[in-house]
Amino acid sequence: MKPTIRILITQNFVMAASIARSKSSPANRIAVQDVEVPVSIGPNTEWQNLIQAVNDTMDQLGSPGTAVSLIIPSSWCFLCHLDTLAKRPDPVAMSYEMEEILPVPLELVTTAFAVREEGVIGIAVETEVLGKLLTGLEGRGAGVANVCVDVLVASAIANAQSASETTVLDVGRSASIEFNHETEHCIHVRNRIGCNCVAGPVSESTADCKPLRDDSIFFDLRTRPLPECDAAADTNEENIGAKALVAANLDQMDVPDLRVGPLAHENRFADMYRLVSQLAVLGIVLCSILWARGFGQQKSLQRQSDDLRHEQAEIYRGVFPEGTVPRNPATRLASERKRIEVLATTDSAGPAPTAANQPLDDLGAFVRAIPDDVRILANEILVDARQFSLRGHTASHRDAERIADAIGAVNGLNVGSPRTSRLKSGGVEFSLKGRRDRANP
Amino acid sequence: MQIPENALRRLRDPKPRALTAIAVFAVVLSFVWFQHRSLATTRRSLQASASKLTRMKSDAHQIIELQSRPQRAVDREKPNAELLAQVEAALSESNIPRELWQDSIPQPTQRAKGSDYLRVATRLEFEGVTIRQIVVFTQALLQDDPTLSIQSLRVQNRTKRSGSIGGETTWSVEMTIGYFMYDLDGNDQKAQS
């Protein structure tokens, strides 16, 4: 997003100006708000006042909730000069080189690099610390498009004007580029030579600092400009100040942007990703609850299964008191039932049920059936499941027929007519045959 | 296991965090799904076990009830010596002289018509026995082994050898005794349909 407002943060004020998109249209409006800006920043820095001041300046400009270009004090950053001969230095390699100079781990900072003829200027700012400011500004509706460092903006302006040296004054800076030993509180950016990282604090003396050379540019950020003046109207060549920074056309300059890497602007899908994350976490929690519940159910089902198995074993032992319970007692019992069933019952698969002593019973029935007044001498009696035969002697043909009729009256027998032959010695020899009735065995 | 700091820092970004959360959710969801399947399998198994238990109770009840009934068939062929021993025991029990028992002739095994049972029979031949003796003998024999039955009886009055015992007429008796053997195998070579 193209920023429409540039905001400069110095030690004792915040300045906002609408960005000039071309040389012919300079910045028209400027808003300034006094605020105490921390010289250095850390995890405990309170940003509320600064954020409020930024919003107030934007409100004064009448452009709330717009994209801004932010210029931060170099005292918030670590700056150093890196010696490299490569024409296109690798940012990753330069980061590792910078890590040796930084007082904090590389993973905790966001780095950017300004490539100059004399070398590379490396900038590093603590990601989490500055991130809080950016998040706070965006939470108030000011989208931060890019973040630049004041000394490098000043350096770029001076470079564009072919200045040999650039001096930026801002009392109270704690970390900076190169120490000017003549004026202890001066911060000196050398365009041609570069700069070195310094670890110690700068004196808070308010003594003036003169330009070191005739062709150097002098930026005095101590002076709070009047809002009604613009940069073009400022004729003090020795005191360009804050207006020059906010009015600079950074599109034409090589100014490193710290809104990269971990501090990069969130894309429009960030909210969607957060929502997806929250839903996924909710899903994980629900699944965990389901899993725990399922675990309990599994235990309960296992107990029921064990109880059933125990009951099956008891039933098995009730039938087979001796011996061990097999792995599948149900199959064993079913097999045993079928075995006993076919041996003990007389179902349709078995032979026709008959008395074990049927032939003798039949013989007894025949004898009882024969009339008392009939004399018979039995020679052979044959009885089985299907038939019977009787051969013997009687007194007459009539008696033979009476015997046949009597036996035929026995239930379940079909008796044919007797075959008789008269004997010379008297009497009749007869033979009688019959079949068992299938319907009444 | 120490998680690399780079990885932890990367999780601050919304997109990697979302992807990581989705991946963890997918893993947890798969665990829950597998657990659900396992539970369903366990429930089915439990239902089957409950059905099995019901069948077992029914089978056990029937077994106990069937065990109280007299056995009508056997599941394997008896050795011939066992049958002859039973005959001798019945003769002894009924006080019938051993010498009256003339012969025992095994009969061809037949399949009872339309059933899964085979009829295994032996013909016993007695000489000079009375009807009373035959009745007592068969009672003793059948009482000792309820699977046995008298399948046929032939009583002959052979004039040459007829006699009497205690005033009763004696006979030549051929008695076929046998038992049913349960046989599902239809290829029994001994069987005759």
Which residue of A360, A366, A383 is the best one to mutate when testing the B interface, meaning the one whose CB has the most B CBs within 10 A?
A: A360
Q: How many CA atoms lie within 13 A of B166 on its CB side?
A: 5
Residue B5: what pLDDT?
Answer: 59
Higher pLDDT, A258 or B6: A258
Distance from CA of A354 to the nearest CA of B (A): 9
Interface check A92 vs B, CB under 8 A: no
**Which residues in chain A (360-389) have CB-CB distances under 8 A to chain B?**
360, 363, 377-385
Angle at which helices B14-67 and A329-344 cross, to 10°: 20
Q: Over the stretch A317-363, which tens digit does the pLDDT of each residue have?
A: 999 898 889 989 999 999 989 888 888 865 545 555 566 678 888 88
Q: Which two tokens stand for residue A316?
A: 């098995």
Contact B154 A380 (CB under 8 A): yes
Residue of chain B whose Cα is closest to the Cα of A344: B71
Contact B154 A382 (CB under 8 A): yes
CA B86, CA B10: separation in Å to the nearest integer?
95
CA B168, CA B172: separation in Å to the nearest integer?
13
Contact A269 B12 (CB under 8 A): no
Contact A384 B59 (CB under 8 A): no
Task: Give me the helices (H) in B68-114, please.
Answer: 80-93
Distance from CA of A220 to the nearest CA of B (A): 39
Which residue of B19, B63, B131, B143 is the best one to mutate when testing the A interface, meaning the one whose CB has the most A CBs within 10 A?
A: B63
Which residue of B86, B113, B137, B153 is the best one to mutate when testing the A interface, meaning the one whose CB has the most A CBs within 10 A?
A: B153
Higher pLDDT, B192 or A117: A117
Q: Is B7 helix (H, G, I), strand (E, B) or coil?
A: helix
The CA-CA-CA angle for residues B92, B97, B100, to 5°, reads 125
Give the distance from CA A127 to its chain's centroid: 28
Distance from CA of A45 to the nearest CA of B (A): 21
Q: Which two tokens stand for residue A367?
A: 């004898």
Give φ, ψ of A30 to 5 degrees: -135, 140
Q: Which of A173-187, B33-47, B111-125 has the lowest mean pLDDT?
A: A173-187
Q: Does ipTM exceed 0.85? A: no
Which positions ≥6 away from A160 have C-beta within 8 Å? A252, A253
Give the distance from CA A319 to its chain's centroid: 55
Q: Over the stretch A85-114, which tens digit does the pLDDT of each residue have?
A: 666 778 888 888 888 878 888 888 898 887
- From residue A225, give the alpha-carbon distance in Å to each of A12, A156, A168, B182: 12, 21, 16, 120
Of B38, B66, B117, the CB nearest to A344: B66
Query: Is the confidence at residue B156, as pLDDT, over 50?
Result: yes
Interface check A96 vs B, CB under 8 A: no
Residues above pLDDT 70, as percent of chain B? 83
* Element at A217 (helix H, strand E): strand A216-220
Interface check A305 vs B, CB under 8 A: yes
Name residue, tokens 């009830």: B65
Each residue's pLDDT expressed in tens, for chain A with a length of 441 residues: 577 788 888 878 888 888 755 555 555 678 888 888 887 888 888 999 999 998 888 888 876 557 888 999 887 888 777 776 666 778 888 888 888 878 888 888 898 887 766 677 788 888 889 999 998 888 777 788 889 988 888 777 777 766 555 555 554 433 333 433 333 333 444 333 233 333 223 333 333 444 445 555 666 676 666 655 444 444 444 445 777 788 777 777 778 889 888 888 766 677 788 899 999 999 999 999 999 999 999 999 999 999 999 999 999 999 989 888 998 999 999 998 988 888 886 554 555 556 667 888 888 888 888 888 988 888 999 998 888 899 999 998 999 999 999 988 887 788 888 999 998 888 899 999 988 875 544
Residue A255: what pLDDT?
Answer: 85
Contact B66 A345 (CB under 8 A): yes
CA-nearest of B158, B168, B154, B179 to B87 is: B179
Strands A30-34 and A119-126: unpaired
Question: For all residues of chain B together, what is the average pLDDT?
Answer: 84
